[in-house]
Amino acid sequence: MSVVTPQAPAGQSHPASPTVRSAWRGSRLIVLLGALVVLVSVLGVLLGSEGTPERRLDPDDTSMSGSRALAELLRDRGVTVDRVDSVAAAAAKGAAGDRLLLVTDTAYVDEYDLAEIPGDRLIVGDVFGLAALAPGVRVEPGGARPRSREPGCGLPAATVAGSAYLGGIVLRGPSGSTGCYPADDGHTLVTFPSASGVITVVGDGDFMTNQRLAEDGNAALALNLIGTGKAVTWLVRPATPPVLDLPGERGQSMYELMPGSVRWAVYMAIIALGVTAFWRGRRLGPVVTEKLPVIVRASETVEGRGRLYRARRARERAADSLRAGTIDRLTPRLGLASGAGRHEIVPALADRTGQDPQQVGAALYGPPPADDAGLVGLAGYLDFMERQISEL
């Protein structure tokens, strides 16, 4: 069977390099995927910036880690709760010394300025500057796993509340202090009087969160410690960190600190990246774009190869192909490993078929046939041995 390949009409030429249309067809999937990734990233940034993040122990936060529920309970009992996020605001509220200062975060405040505010003080968790805010209180190495604990002390605020979910840092108070809710070699709650008022330190503030407030005696303990009848100044971390200027220096943005040539360097880098992507991304189209017009059966391929061998009188090569195929198919059937040699295959095959070992060896490893009749006879004998092994 002959196959006629359609030829291009005379006078027409087909370019070997890709056109704009072929380049777009080949790369449009990558471009669309890249645009989709960029769009999702931009939307994620925009939506993420619009969402309200959780603010731990914030009286205005309604999330699981916030303390909005506790603040509302205090207000229902007639306690004034003022939320502040700076030392200046806290000092303005508590200048008279008749308030309770509730400290939950000191990340962006000066602890020494905060310690100068008079009045009672409740410090929650392992805040920075604890030595200045609660003089004499020591933090033991390690910590205590938060869990339900019994008071183990005579402090009325704790004994009335009963068990509470406490843990965190383990504390040791100064002389004359009272420790409650014991853990390891210390306590998770310590209270003692000072010159400015009563100072209370709690190892962890989970019992004050919206998630834990309704468990055990958490609500009772929080209300007893905070709701003492005094107004509460609740210090939290500011939503936007303050900008600190060093002495003698003016606050500068990142762009002001960059040299003027950085912008041109970025532009050149973008151009170089685009040129590199275009250079490495170019691909030549296939040599033959049309599909094969016919499907050639395997039998026709075998017959065609046989005719080529016959035309070239390649009896030796044909015999080698027949012998190699027979050995490859019989080796696993004889229980031999791949790559077995003549001294293993010939005895095993002769024993299984009952043939003479010399005849089997000559058929598999002998000289090539002298004529076509000998080649046909060799093929028939090899097929006979394969059929015998298959029937056993």
pLDDT-wise least confident of 49-63, 70-84, 183-197: 49-63
Instruction: Note the pLDDT of residue 66.
Output: 92
Give the model's confidence band at 220: pLDDT under 50 very low, under 70 low, under 90 confident, else very high. very high
Angle at 257 between CA 256 and CA 260, to 5 degrees: 75
- The overall average pLDDT reported for the chain is 82
Has residue 2 got a pLDDT over 60?
no
- Quote the percentage of the chain above a pLDDT of 70: 80
Q: Residue 206 corresponds to which tokens in the numbers above?
A: 């989970």
b (16+ CB within 10 A) / e for 176-196: ebbbbbbbeebbbbbbbeeee
Question: Beta strand 138-139 with 164-168: parallel, antiparallel or unpaired?
Answer: unpaired
In 3D space, the residue among 87, 123, 94 whose CA is nearest the CA of residue 108 turns out to be 87
Give the model's confidence band at 289: pLDDT under 50 very low, under 70 low, under 90 confident, else very high. low
- Biggest alpha carbon distance in the chain? 123
Cα-to-chain-centroid distance, residue 123: 36
Place of tokens 């704790």: 158
pLDDT-wise least confident of 44-58, 131-145, 188-202, 319-333: 44-58
pLDDT-wise least confident of 11-20, 53-62, 86-95, 266-275: 11-20
**98 vs 289, higher pLDDT:** 98
The secondary structure of residue 193, as a DSSP letter, is: E
Long-range contacts of 242-246 (CB under 8 A, 24+ apart): 242/86, 242/108
Instruction: Note the pLDDT of residue 283.
Output: 58
The secondary structure of residue 49, as a DSSP letter, is: H
